[in-house]
Amino acid sequence: MNKQTQGRKFGRERDQRRALLKSLARALILHGKIETTEAKAKELRVFIEPIITGSKANTIHKRRLISKRLGPDTVKKLFSEIREKYSDRKGGYTRITKVGSRRGDSARMAVIELV
């Protein structure tokens, strides 16, 4: 019996999907809120929430692991501002709000923001 693969493919190869999620995560951390398609927002939630949870443990090991996934510029903001904001929260750091369809191709759009 065929099993469903985990995650969305977005019509891209693996490296391109990783780069897409990495850039969306960077934008979300730096700006706090981004507008994207609904599918990308849902996949970004799965990608970013373990990163925020990992940043709660302020160790050099966690900093290096997260820096490897996101890059050094976002790690500074993640560990200085966002970690303190969510230190007592157990999970659910993001909120997805559906905003309608995109005019060009009628793709369902959503706003994902840090709560």
Residue 64 sits in which domain range? Answer: 14-114
6 within some domain = no
Q: Strand pairing partners for 108?
A: 101
Burial (0-12, 13-18, 19+ Cβ within 10 Å), 53: middle
Supply the pLDDT for residue 32. Answer: 95
5 within some domain = no
Give the CATH number for residue 108: 3.90.1030.10
Q: How many folded domains does the chain comprise?
A: 1
2 within some domain = no
Indicate the pTM of the whole model.
0.91
Tens of pLDDT along the chain (115 residues) come to: 888 778 899 999 999 999 999 999 999 999 999 999 999 999 999 999 999 999 999 899 999 999 999 988 899 999 999 999 999 999 999 999 999 999 999 999 999 999 9
